[in-house]
Structure 1
Amino acid sequence: MSTIEALSSFYNEIKALLHHARHHVINTINTTMTQTYWEIGQRIVQEEQQGASRAQYGKAILKTLSDELTQEFGKGFSVDNLENMRRFYVAFQKSETASRKFNLSWSHYIFLTRIENIDERDFYEIEAVQNSWTLREMKRQFDSGLYERLKLSLDRSKAKELSIQGHVIESVNDIIKDPYVLEFVGLPVQTSYSENELESRLIDKLEHFLLELGKGYTFVARQKRITIDEKHFAVDLVFYNRLLKSFVVIDLKIGELKHQDIGQMMMYVNYFDRFEKTEDENLTIGIILCKDKSEVLVEMTLPKDNNQIYASKYLTILPNKEELLKLLEEGN
């Protein structure tokens, strides 16, 4: 290594140390401030609970407190923000100790306080921390009804654990969603499009698609060519799930699912099991994403003990919560 190269490496190491230190300082400041906002909310609630007269003049107290804090500390202490701190404490009262760590940004917690269902709120907090979701990503997962979709797709015992441990991946069934929400591809439901166009849009928005697929996914290939008895076939999308140590092959269907589509997926899965996976890897998982499907047809086509091939609907628009819940209930 030349002197110039050695010096360049030295400079980069020092820069990396400083970037790491700044990142650590920013995270520490954010965590400390969020904890402080919780404690301010706690004191506000305690002050309101001193008596009926105090509660009656709660707004006036907050206005005076806002003026006092703004005068001494500057922006960030409007009446609305103090109300947010109060709501933050009320939503997370079960924390109850100053030792409780808040690992998300203040903006994350403002959003979380608006989720009325406590179990659902706890789930999104856990998932946001575990997956380092930005606020935008967390909002998107909430709007797509991730909690409800997982709750209805998992067995009862695991569904109960969502608010305690988040989404734990232990088996194939844990990664399957029905439906998948692909609103980010920008293909409205009334627009005609081809399977190739849907595939291209998913690849263009790969980061969003990986977020929708869930934990542990890495992208492997698109239009993966396989040859069987001198005939060539192309698998739409191939992923690998490192948590399950399995290939996940995905086939896209823009219309109603046919039994031939299931047969084709069975061929893809068998091929990967015999020629792609290694001995220390688990069986391949096949997911057919379709606009519509007959549950009876799927059940009759697949073997009774099937745990490799799944058919799920996909939505290209984001339904409101009421429509999504109705759709989920109809599918279950």
Structure 2
Amino acid sequence: MTGITRYREAVQTIKTAILQSRYRAARAANAEQLKLYFNIGRYVSANTRTGKWGTGAIEEISSQLQAELLGLRGFSPSSIKYMRQFFEVWNEEFQADSNFAMKGSQLLADESLEADGDQSIRQLPIGELTVADMNAFLGIGFTHHIQIFSSCRTLEERWYYIRRCAADFWTVEVLKSHLRADDFHHTGALPNNFVQTIPDVKCATKAVRAFKDEYLLDFINVEDAEDESDVDERVLEHALVSEIRKFIQTLGSDFCFISNQHRLIVGEEEAFVDLLFYHRSLRSLVAIELKRGKFKPAYLGQLNYYLSALDAQERHPNENQSIGLLLCKEANQAVVELAIRDFNKPMGVAVYRTKSDIPQPYRTLIPLMDGVREILSADRNKE
């Protein structure tokens, strides 16, 4: 081993240790910040909801904090109200759900923020939650939490997005896109034949969870045409490929793009898969076919043929069988379920929406929708 090689290994070892230490420190700092915000929210809630503080108290407190702690950020009146909502949303949910019995965890306790002797909730009850759940809760930023509790009305839905943010390291912008797409209600709802065609039950279940029945492609704008020719589908395909990073975010982080118009040769005849991906968790090739019009049962025969060719020619010995996804403009679920059930290759049929589906006068408002959600949430926070 040369000196250069030895030093390179030493550099990588030290670099890894530094990065891991920074990551742990950042997570610890984020958890501490959430604890602070939760307790400030509890303190503010106890004093504003009971009328102990008068109108405009939060604005005045924010102003004085800015004056006494120069350069202080994150404590504007709206931010303090979000802290109050953060406490009230989770406190209300935990109090209403018998599964979240008090367990004595001091995760979010702070004795210094008692509200005039109020001894109500000084901790976040964890009940049946796992350590992984609490790590996820404390591992995502406060801005993520704001987006989640402002958009989701049920505890189950909130936990879905919290877990996804923590597991997939979603940025706030990525989270917003998944909230707009309503992933919670669409994930796992794809009409498919996975249970019948994938022998391993766990793998079949994982496949069901990997796909949605509807995909929001609001980052592309493909104008409607009178016919449904291949030219129209190529336009859609080109738009997706040109925005492949956003498309992968829409599909899920386990999808890896391989190619578009992927060439297959069978008996000296060519066939082309519109989009070919690899799914890391499923260890499967995923062929996606795009259709501009309404679902037709004949489309499944073509997709089934592509999957057979992929399994025969490109599937590796350690990989699972290829999976097909048909993306159509619209589909009748009853027709899809009847048409798909007798095929022997795992396939599903989903629909998609693009910016073109939104009436012209409202298209320019798309970037503002997240702001509207925040305004509505702020209105609910008014004293």
Please report the TM-score for the alignment, with normalisation by the length of structure 1.
Answer: 0.77
Q: What secondary structure, in the 3-state scheme, does the structure 2 residue paired with 1:273 have? A: helix
Gaps of 5+ in 1: 156-167, 321-332
Partner of 1:186: 221
Deviation at 1:91, TM superposition (A): 1.6
Partner of 2:210: 175
Select which of 146, 149, 165 maps to 1:113: 149
CA distance in 1, matches of 2:341, 2:4: 65
1:182/1:314 contact within 8 Å kept: yes
The correspondence of residues 1-332 of structure 1 with structure 2, limited to 5 A, is 21-48=21-48, 52-54=50-52, 57-74=53-70, 75=72, 76-93=74-91, 94=94, 97-99=105-107, 101=135, 102-118=138-154, 119-150=156-187, 152-153=189-190, 170-189=205-224, 194-295=232-333, 297-304=335-342, 308-317=346-355
1:266–1:91 Cα change, 3 Å: same
Deviation by residue 1:62-97 (Cα, 9 ceiling, x = unmatched): 345324432333333232221111111112223885
Deviation at 1:139, TM superposition (A): 0.5
Deviation at 1:8, TM superposition (A): 7.9
Deviation at 1:227, TM superposition (A): 1.2
Gaps of 5+ in 2: 95-99, 108-133, 193-202, 359-383
2:311/2:321 contact within 8 Å kept: yes
Moved more, 301-310 or 218-227: 301-310
1:124–1:73 Cα change, 3 Å: same
CA distance in 1, matches of 2:17, 2:312: 47
Structure 2 counterpart of 1:183, one-letter code: D
Deviation by residue 1:83-135 (Cα, 9 ceiling, x = unmatched): 11111111222388542552111211222221241222222111111111000
Please report the TM-score for the alignment, with normalisation by the length of structure 2.
Answer: 0.68
CA-atom RMSD in angstroms: 3.4
Structure 1 counterpart of 2:177, one-letter code: R
1:46–1:291 Cα change, 3 Å: same
1:240–1:6 Cα change, 3 Å: same
Partner of 1:326: none
1:170/1:244 contact within 8 Å kept: no
1:152–1:136 Cα change, 3 Å: same
CA distance in 2, matches of 1:59, 1:191: 58
Structure 1 counterpart of 2:210, one-letter code: I
Deviation at 1:10, TM superposition (A): 6.7
CA distance in 1, matches of 2:325, 2:190: 15
1:106–1:190 Cα change, 3 Å: farther
Deviation by residue 1:140-199 (Cα, 9 ceiling, x = unmatched): 1001111121264499xxxxxxxxxxxx98333222322222122233457996222222
Q: How many residues are aligned here?
A: 304
Structure 2 counterpart of 1:149, one-letter code: H
1:35–1:259 Cα change, 3 Å: same
Partner of 2:368: none
CA distance in 1, matches of 2:181, 2:224: 16
1:189/1:316 contact within 8 Å kept: no
Deviation at 1:228, TM superposition (A): 1.3
Q: What secondary structure, in the 3-state scheme, does the structure 2 residue paired with 1:186 have? A: coil
Partner of 2:366: none
Deviation by residue 1:44-75 (Cα, 9 ceiling, x = unmatched): 223446xx452xx3545434532443233333
CA distance in 2, matches of 1:72, 1:191: 65
Structure 1 counterpart of 2:330, one-letter code: D
What is the identity percentage for the equivalent residue pairs of Structure 1 and Structure 2? 24
Q: What secondary structure, in the 3-state scheme, does the structure 1 residue paired with 2:265 have? A: strand
CA distance in 2, matches of 1:195, 1:222: 12
Deviation at 1:2, TM superposition (A): 8.1
CA distance in 2, matches of 1:264, 1:14: 53
Deviation at 1:293, TM superposition (A): 3.4
Structure 1 counterpart of 2:159, one-letter code: D
CA distance in 1, matches of 2:146, 2:261: 43
CA distance in 1, matches of 2:54, 2:344: 60
